[in-house]
Amino acid sequence: MNLTSPHDFLEKIVSSLADKHLTINDLFIDHICYRLSSNARYDELKAHLTKVNELLVESKINGRNISVFKLKAPIKFRHWEIPLLELPAPKSGSHYSEGWEHIEVVTNESLESFMKKHSELDFDLKGFTKPLNREVRLKLGKYSVKFHEQSLEEVIEFEKGMKA
């Protein structure tokens, strides 16, 4: 029931970013996303992960459930320790292969400044105008990296406080 090791996936991400002259060595990778192929697999893996890890939140986003877990043992890769795992159920009518899909990184500056520094890159700005924790995405073949100004854990805590 264990997830496949993310090591090769993370190596591909870091290597692809280096090919684009972008290093994230001094940035925080706050979470990693593991995509699932079916709702049944989502339910199975969520139940398994909940036994050992802390389920921070399960939210309905764009018509499907997404769970975020705080891992009991962070994923260790090079000098990083990635504390959170995002587990999205598949979107209705879409087919996904199971496996690692993206990482999300917290910038140490505004997104405007970050994009200006890397103006040669073609950032996807679809999430740039989100009211909470806006993002820019860089596609790397079948993978991607999303850049934020706040960590997902901070955003979840903020949202929980808003509901209280």
Cβ 101 vs Cβ 34: under 8 Å: yes
pLDDT in tens, 83-115: 999 999 988 777 778 999 999 999 999 999 999
pLDDT in tens, 63-85: 889 999 999 999 999 999 999 99
pTM of the predicted structure, to 2 decimals:
0.92
Domain assignment present for 22: yes
Domain assignment present for 122: yes
Long-range contacts of 120-126 (CB under 8 A, 24+ apart): 120/21, 121/20, 121/22
How many domains is the chain built from?
1
Domain assignment present for 2: no
Q: Residue 65 belongs to a domain with what CATH number? A: 3.10.180.10
Domain assignment present for 1: no
In sequence order, the β-bridge partners of residue 147 are: 105, 136
Specify the residue for token string 């140490």: 108
- Tell me, rounded to whole angstroms, the distance of Cα 76 from its chain centroid: 15
Range of the domain at 58: 7-163
Cβ 92 vs Cβ 64: under 8 Å: yes
